[in-house]
Amino acid sequence: MEIILKYFSDFTAHQLQQFEKLGPLYKEWNEKINVISRKDIDSLYEKHVLHSLSIAAAFSFSDGTEIVDLGTGGGFPGIPLAIFFPNVKIKNC
Banded pLDDT at 85 (limits 50, 70, 90): very high
Q: Answer yes or no: is pLDDT of 49 > 80.
A: yes
Q: Answer yes or no: is pLDDT of 87 > 90.
A: yes
Q: Does residue 61 contact residue 83 with C-beta atoms inside 8 Å? A: no
Average pLDDT, the chain: 93
Taking alpha carbons only, the member of 63, 84, 88, 89 closest to residue 12 is 84
Better pLDDT: 53 or 70? 53
pLDDT per residue over 5-46, tens digit each? 999 999 999 999 999 999 999 999 999 998 998 888 999 999
Q: Is 75 left (phi over 0), alpha (psi -120 to 50) or beta?
A: left
In angstroms, the CA 23 to CA 29 distance is: 10
Tell me the residue length of the chain. 93
Please report, rounded to a whole number, the percentage of residues in the chain having pLDDT higher than 70: 99
Q: Does residue 77 contact residue 55 with C-beta atoms inside 8 Å? A: yes
